[in-house]
Chain A
Amino acid sequence: DAKTTQPNSMESNEEEPVHLPCNHSTISGTDYIHWYRQLPSQGPEYVIHGLTSNVNNRMASLAIAEDRKSSTLILHRATLRDAAVYYCILEGPDYGQNFVFGPGTRLSVLP
C-alpha cells in the first residue's frame, strides 16, 4: 500500500495560516499526491492534488518538496469551517484511484 505519514492532530487559530505536513518517502515518479478532508458527519471532500509543481486553488495551496518525499497543504487563513480530518493520499499506476486513507490529521481551529 502507498504509505503516507501525517501528524495525528494539529491546532490553529482562526484567520491564521495552517501548514499540514505529509511524508511519503516511498513515492514513485508517477504517483500523484491528493489531499482530501472530512468535515464532521460528512463524506470526504477533495481539496487539492499535484504531481511535481506547487499547486494553488481557491481552497488551499500544495507545496511539494523537490525530491517529492514530502508535501505540505497550506490553508492561508483558517476558518472554523476548516476544522476537519485532512488526508494525504498517493495515487498512481500501482493502485489506481483506489485511495488508501491513513488516519489523517485532525485539525482544530480555535476562535
Chain B
Amino acid sequence: DSGVTQTPKHLITATGQRVTLRCSPRSGDLSVYWYQQSLDQGLQFLIQYYNGEERAKGNILERFSAQQFPDLHSELNLSSLELGDSALYFCASSGPHSTDTQYFGPGTRLTVL
C-alpha cells in the first residue's frame, strides 16, 4: 500500500460525458502528479501540482483539467470524453525535493463506451 488513494477504482461512461477522478496523496506530500496509461501510448505524464499550484504540464489535452485543493487532495476532470480517453489514470505524490520518490496510487480505470 503506497498510501495514495484514488477513487473510483472503475468508471464506465459514454462519449461526450464528463467525469472527475479523485486522488488523496500520502500524508505530508505536497506534490501530486497525474499520469495516463493506455495500451498504445504507455505511461504519459499529464500534470503536476505542488501545494495547490500548477507546477508542470505534460501531454494534457485541453478537455482535461486538474486542481489541488487546500487539503492537498487533487481532482482530474475529463470532459467531452472520447473513446480514446479509455485508459488507466494514475495519481502519484511525493515530497518537495526533486529526488523524492513518487508513490503511485492503484489507479482509476476509465472506460468510455
A residues apposed to B, CB below 8 Å: 32, 36, 38, 42-46, 49, 87, 91-93, 96-104
Contact = CB atoms under 8 A, between A and B. Distances in A.
Given A96-B98, A97-B98, A46 B103 contact: yes
Contact of A102 (B42, B58, B99, B100): B42
Categorize the interface residue count of chain B: 20 to 34
Given A43-B90, A44-B104, A101 B56 contact: no
Interface in B65-113: 90, 92, 94, 98-107
A102 B41 CA distance: 9
22 contacts: A32-B99, A36-B102, A42-B106, A42-B107, A43-B2, A44-B90, A44-B92, A46-B103, A49-B101, A87-B43, A91-B98, A91-B99, A92-B98, A93-B98, A97-B94, A97-B98, A98-B48, A99-B102, A100-B45, A101-B35, A102-B42, A103-B42
